[in-house]
Amino acid sequence: DVKVTQSSRYLVKRTGEKVFLECVQDMDHENMFWYRQDPGLGLRLIYFSYDVKMKEKGDIPEGYSVSREKKERFSLILESASTNQTSMYLCASSFSPGGNEKLFFGSGTQLSVL
C-alpha cells in the first residue's frame, strides 16, 4: 500500500514562528501536493510539485512556501506563522502521467497558531 507520512499529527506554534511541515511518500510518485482543510471551506490547494526542485502555486499560496529537494519528500514552510494559518494540513501524492491519478493522502497535521 502507498504510504504518505506526515511528520506531526498535532503542532502548536506561536505567531511569527517559522514552521516546517514535512511529508514523505514511499511509492516513487512524481506529484506531491499540500492542501489545507477548514470547516465550511473544504480542501484548498496551497502548492504542488511535479518533480524534484519544481513547484507550482495552488489556489491559496500566500504566506506559504515549499521545498522538494528529493522525490519522496515535500515540505511546506510557513515563513512567519499567523493565527489565520491555524488549520488541518494534508499532504498528498499521485503517480503521473494521466489517467486515474488518484491522490493518496497523509493523515494530516493539525496546526494551531497562538
Q: Which of 17, 46, 30 is nearest to 112 (CA)?
A: 17
Tell me, rounded to whole angstroms, the distance of Cα 6 from its chain centroid: 9
CB 89 within 8 A of CB 34: yes
**Any contact of residue 43 with other proteins (CB under 8 A)?**
yes
**Residue choice 11, 60, 71, 104 for contact with other proteins (CB under 8 A):** 104
**Any contact of residue 24 with other proteins (CB under 8 A)?**
no
| Subset of 58-97 contacting other proteins (CB under 8 A) | 58-59, 90, 94, 96
The residues near 36 (Cβ < 8 Å, ≥ 6 apart) are 43, 44, 46, 60, 87, 88, 89, 90
**Any contact of residue 42 with other proteins (CB under 8 A)?**
yes
**Any contact of residue 40 with other proteins (CB under 8 A)?**
yes
Grid cell at residue 91: 499532504
**Residue choice 27, 41, 54, 114 for contact with other proteins (CB under 8 A):** 41
Give the footprint of other proteins on this chain (CB under 8 A).
4, 31, 33, 35, 40-45, 48, 50, 58-59, 90, 94, 96, 100-108
